[in-house]
Chains A and B, each alone.
Chain A
Amino acid sequence: MSVLRTTARAPIARTALAVLAVVAVLALTGGLLAPLDPLAQDTARILQGPSGAHLLGTDYLGRDVLSRLLAGTGLSVLTAAEAVAAAMLLGVVPGLASVRFGAALSWISLRAVDALMTLPFTLFAIAAVGVLGNGLHQAMLALGVLLAPLFFRVTRAAALGLDRAQYVEAAELMGASRSWILRVHIWRKVLPTVAVTTAHALATSLLAVSSLTFLGIGVQPPAPTWGGMLAGDLGFLAQQPWAPALPAALIMLTVGALNLLADAVRDAEPADAVRGAGPADTAVRKEHRDGLAAV
């Protein structure tokens, strides 16, 4: 909890949290806040500039841009979160298990992770959608599989350092079970590292989701998404050169806020997470960096 308190005291983190709070509210209630039906077409008023009736103008089918931006927030952000949730499930549990449950499991999981890290996000997602069908959940599952190595590596690195801590060895000598040690001594200490990784992974996932929807993969028109709106607007730069800036700004703000928050959590982390880990501290940081760099 001290990590959270330290994080919350940082102005950068507060700014990032404020932005993310707004995005979260829009994601959960954006459709309700939309002033007009985001799917309603008015072909008599296509590509109009901002006005009282349409605060951000209309798109190529006369739909209200503001309403589509608001309604599109949920699909864009929640799908990114879905991919990260899948990645956490597939990465954190094997990451912890690989430390505590034997060399064979460790070796196998590391090789699997090495193989996954060689695959590019977008191409893998397109291939997965081609095989499993063009759907949102298929694309997010593919994305989750490729993000999982990130969680696996940072979780494993942190757990490796803590596994050699004196209080863990003491617990073992006193007869504590492996699962008890994992739950009480390791998991709680690994959490801040997972939090940092989650924020970074969300940013990466949002970019990947935006790229996929930009390409028309996962979410189909007319359902609004930030990436889809960006793609649609690009065809009409001659009429509305400013239009792509709106979804682009939302993507940029959200990704930036997530990265800033991740940095703030990470900077608050050392005082608590890896204190006393001794020589393993360096290894934790190195693997953490490597994991992020692999994104």
Chain B
Amino acid sequence: MNALADGRPQLARRSFLGLGLGAGAALLLAACGGADTAGTGAPGSSGTLKWGWALPTSWDPVFSSAGWDVHVLSLVYAGLTKLDEHGAAVPALATDWTYAPDGASVTFRLRPGLTFGDGTPLDAAAVKKSLDRGRTDPKSLVAPQLVHVAEVTATDPGTVVLHLTQPDYQLPNLLAGKTGMIVNPKAFEADAAALATAPAGAGPFTLTSYTLNTKAVLRRNPGYWDAASIKLENFELYPLPDATTVVAGLQSGQFDVAQIPGSQVAAAKAAGLEVQVIPSLVVAVLDVNTTKAPFDNPDVVEALKYAIDREALLKTQLFGFGEVNHQPFPKGYVGHDPGSDDLYRYDPDKARALLAKAGHPDGVDLAITTTAAQGLPEQLQAQLKQVGIRATIEVVPAAQATQIVYVQHSKALFTDQFAGRDSAAQAFQVLFGDQGLMNPGRTTPPELKDAVEKVSRTPLDSPDYPKVLQAATALAVRTMPNVFLYSVPRLLARRRSVSQLPASTVVQRFEGVSVS
């Protein structure tokens, strides 16, 4: 191999190997493929829909730790209510509900003949047990949403009454989400831990197999209360596809529907895919910890809000899809406050003046904590530099971010996304509540607490409700440190064989969707 045949070195095979190794490491190739699964031919339904989206942190709604999970859990669980395309509560397992005149209780009437996916009857007793578990389990993550519920009673098999400590008219919305998903008592009484991987609900589908972090296979639940609207026989769920390969994955049939980033919209359309831009409650936000320097000075927080050019962020991060936003709710949602639309318009001079007022005329140092350094953090860093904020980028592993940011509250500034919540009051609690996940400073002004209480006490159908909710929004964005950046629409690309998807603002639903 290394002989000097004629006195001159020859090109050895290892040289080619070296070149090949370099080329192989430098060029990343992605290959993907998928196999169709035949339907079982149940009446009125057929086909398999393969959704590239995200697998849940837990299949147990009481212990699911990500707001994002609600989309997937809604496939296997049903609640007393559900949200329509505009985010308003409409009947689901319950046909209707009635508040007592003084707002001290709310009575839900169940549909007759309801069953869970395994055929177990779903009656008022089961609803009571399920809600009580969410309310009282010491480790429940939905318990804070149910603090106004003093007791749940099943007055007869078809009637459930929630007795309240104070009027809370947000409950019908709240119960449409994870908080109100009814879990089969037979399952959690036998082995509650098993629910993390084996859901037991009464939703449109039942889980038939699940491979952690890889794939979930679901089958249509013929006992679902609205089974007639479910046209899909099988449903396969996959983790969020990589931006680089998602369009190819859709073209090849690996996915039928997938979430895509804004950068891939043109490519998806060019590939003959349908793209739906569905307005959602998701908003990009910076979590600011006011107990950490330099944000322990309110002027620095305000300077941060004025230092960010949201239009530029929207253009590069979402390729123009979505809207600049200075508040937690998008335009068109009842809680959106028009008076806060341009509240923190990009004003670098004002940001510099605020920094100087805060005692930082020569600028200030801080760290942007994130789970992925490329993109938004880089752009934020450059924008902040313009006003004298010298930011470093600190990357924490995505798997540890929840612990580091939401539990330990050890970071001053974190790039985040708020997934929205079924109830406006719940959204306030998560973003601004003194125990809210996205309020690392753990402080809430008393006047904001009062405003949110007023929201809960105002009936959803009251003519005052929009005004009361928008007033709370206006107060929150002026008194809390969260820096809202832009609303993030749900960009779903689908193969032409899949029919139009419902444009659900809060939770993606699949009623009426078919695959040809």
Chain A interface residues (CB < 8 Å from chain B): 6-7, 9-10, 12-13, 39, 41, 43, 46, 60-62, 134, 200, 203, 207, 210-211, 216, 220-222, 228, 230-232, 234-239, 244, 247-249, 251-256, 258-260, 262-264, 266-268, 270-271, 292
Q: Is the CB of B381 within 8 A of A12?
A: no
From A39, A203, A207, contact of B382 by CB (8 A)? A39
- Cα distance A43–B26 when bound, in Å? 28
Q: Is the CB of B12 within 8 A of A207?
A: no
From B9, B266, B312, B374, contact of A43 by CB (8 A)? B312
Q: Closest 9 A-B residue pairs measured CB to CB?
A: A259-B18, A255-B22, A238-B267, A248-B26, A267-B9, A256-B19, A252-B22, A10-B9, A251-B26
Q: Is the CB of A211 within 8 A of B381?
A: no
Question: With contacts A41-B382, A43-B379, A248-B27 known, what are 18 further pairs, Cβ within 8 A?
Answer: A39-B382, A60-B316, A60-B375, A134-B394, A134-B395, A203-B21, A203-B22, A222-B378, A222-B381, A235-B243, A236-B263, A238-B264, A252-B23, A255-B25, A262-B18, A263-B12, A266-B2, A292-B14
Q: Is B501 an interface residue (CB 8 A)?
A: no
Q: Is the CB of B378 within 8 A of A203?
A: no
- Cα distance A60–B11 when bound, in Å? 40
Q: Which of B11, B18, B264, B266 has the most CB of A within 10 A?
A: B18
Q: Is the CB of A259 within 8 A of B26?
A: no
Given the complex, which residues of B lie within 8 Å of A207, measured CB to CB? 21-22, 25
Nearest Cβ on chain B to A158's Cβ, whole angstroms: 15
Given the complex, which residues of A lie within 8 Å of B267, measured CB to CB? 238
Q: Is the CB of A13 within 8 A of B9?
A: yes
Q: Is the CB of B374 within 8 A of A216?
A: yes
Q: Is B372 an interface residue (CB 8 A)?
A: yes
Q: Is the CB of B373 within 8 A of A235?
A: no
Nearest Cβ on chain B to A123's Cβ, whole angstroms: 14
- A-B contact list, 9 entries, CB within 8 Å: A12-B11, A41-B378, A220-B393, A221-B374, A235-B244, A237-B244, A244-B28, A255-B19, A255-B25
Q: Is B15 an interface residue (CB 8 A)?
A: yes
* B312-327 interface bits toward A, Cβ cutoff 8 Å, 1 = contact, 0 = none: 1001100000000000
Q: Is the CB of A43 within 8 A of B243?
A: no
Q: Which of A39, A61, A232, A252 has the most CB of B within 10 A?
A: A252
- Cα distance A10–B14 when bound, in Å? 16
Nearest Cβ on chain B to A242's Cβ, whole angstroms: 12
Residue of A nearest to B17 (CB): A259
Nearest Cβ on chain A to B311's Cβ, whole angstroms: 9
- Cα distance A46–B2 when bound, in Å? 50
Q: Is the CB of A263 within 8 A of B14?
A: yes
What's the tally of chain B residues with a CB closer than 8 Å to chain A? 43
Given the complex, which residues of A lie within 8 Å of B244, measured CB to CB? 234-235, 237
- Cα distance A230–B26 when bound, in Å? 8
Nearest Cβ on chain B to A137's Cβ, whole angstroms: 16
Q: Is the CB of A238 within 8 A of B263?
A: yes
From A236, A244, A267, contact of B2 by CB (8 A)? A267
Residue of B nearest to A217 (CB): B395
Q: Is the CB of A251 within 8 A of B18?
A: no
Q: Is the CB of A258 within 8 A of B18?
A: yes
Residue of B nearest to A233 (CB): B244
Q: Evaluate whether A252 and B26 lie within 8 angstroms (CB atoms) in the complex, with A61-B378, A263-B12 already known.
A: yes
Given the complex, which residues of A lie within 8 Å of B28, measured CB to CB? 230, 234, 244
- Cα distance A77–B28 when bound, in Å? 20
Given the complex, which residues of A lie within 8 Å of B379, measured CB to CB? 41, 43, 61
Given the complex, which residues of B lie within 8 Å of A237, measured CB to CB? 244
- Cα distance A125–B493 when bound, in Å? 38
Nearest Cβ on chain A to B376's Cβ, whole angstroms: 10
Q: Is the CB of B263 within 8 A of A239?
A: yes
Given the complex, which residues of B lie within 8 Å of A263, measured CB to CB? 2, 9, 11-12, 14-15, 18
Q: Is the CB of B19 within 8 A of A252?
A: yes
Q: Is B10 an interface residue (CB 8 A)?
A: yes
Nearest Cβ on chain B to A187's Cβ, whole angstroms: 22
Nearest Cβ on chain A to B345's Cβ, whole angstroms: 17
Given the complex, which residues of A lie within 8 Å of B26, measured CB to CB? 210, 230, 247-249, 251-252
Nearest Cβ on chain A to B103's Cβ, whole angstroms: 50
Q: Is the CB of B21 within 8 A of A255?
A: yes
Nearest Cβ on chain A to B388's Cβ, whole angstroms: 17
Q: Is the CB of B266 within 8 A of A264?
A: no
Q: Is B247 an interface residue (CB 8 A)?
A: yes
Given the complex, which residues of B lie within 8 Å of A266, measured CB to CB? 2
Quick one: which of B1-58 are within 8 Å of A by CB? 2, 4, 8-12, 14-15, 17-19, 21-23, 25-28
- Cα distance A247–B10 when bound, in Å? 29
- Cα distance A255–B8 when bound, in Å? 22
Q: Is the CB of B373 within 8 A of A43?
A: no
Quick one: which of B387-408 are within 8 Å of A by CB? 392-395
Q: Is B377 an interface residue (CB 8 A)?
A: yes
Nearest Cβ on chain B to A106's Cβ, whole angstroms: 27
Q: Is the CB of A238 within 8 A of B266?
A: yes
Q: Is the CB of B395 within 8 A of A43?
A: no
- Cα distance A271–B8 when bound, in Å? 12
Nearest Cβ on chain B to A271's Cβ, whole angstroms: 8
From B9, B19, B263, B382, contact of A259 by CB (8 A)? B19
Q: Is the CB of B22 within 8 A of A231?
A: no
Nearest Cβ on chain A to B174's Cβ, whole angstroms: 37
Q: Is the CB of B14 within 8 A of A43?
A: no
- Cα distance A249–B315 when bound, in Å? 30
Q: Is the CB of B312 within 8 A of A232?
A: no
- Cα distance A9–B15 when bound, in Å? 18
Given the complex, which residues of B lie within 8 Å of A200, measured CB to CB? 18
Q: Evaluate whether A10 and B22 lie within 8 angstroms (CB atoms) in the complex, with A134-B395, A221-B393, A259-B15 already known.
A: no
- Cα distance A61–B316 when bound, in Å? 7
Given the complex, which residues of A lie within 8 Å of B261, measured CB to CB? 235
Q: Is the CB of A231 within 8 A of B374?
A: yes
Q: Is the CB of B373 within 8 A of A220?
A: yes
From B4, B22, B374, contact of A256 by CB (8 A)? B22
Q: Which of A43, A211, A244, A254 has the most CB of B within 10 A?
A: A43
Q: Evaluate whether A43 and B315 lie within 8 angstroms (CB atoms) in the complex, with A255-B22, A267-B10 already known.
A: yes
- Cα distance A216–B264 when bound, in Å? 22
- Cα distance A222–B379 when bound, in Å? 9
Q: Which of B315, B316, B392 has the most CB of A within 10 A?
A: B316
Given the complex, which residues of B lie within 8 Å of A12, measured CB to CB? 9, 11, 15
Given the complex, which residues of B lie within 8 Å of A6, measured CB to CB? 9
Nearest Cβ on chain B to A287's Cβ, whole angstroms: 14
- Cα distance A263–B16 when bound, in Å? 11
Q: Evaluate whether A221 and B9 lie within 8 angstroms (CB atoms) in the complex, with A216-B372, A244-B27, A259-B18 already known.
A: no
Q: Evaluate whether A251 and B22 lie within 8 angstroms (CB atoms) in the complex, with A41-B379, A232-B374 already known.
A: yes
Q: Evaluate whether A264 and B9 lie within 8 angstroms (CB atoms) in the complex, with A134-B395, A220-B393 already known.
A: yes
- Cα distance A238–B264 when bound, in Å? 7
Given the complex, which residues of A lie within 8 Å of B17, measured CB to CB? 259
From B18, B263, B315, B381, contact of A255 by CB (8 A)? B18
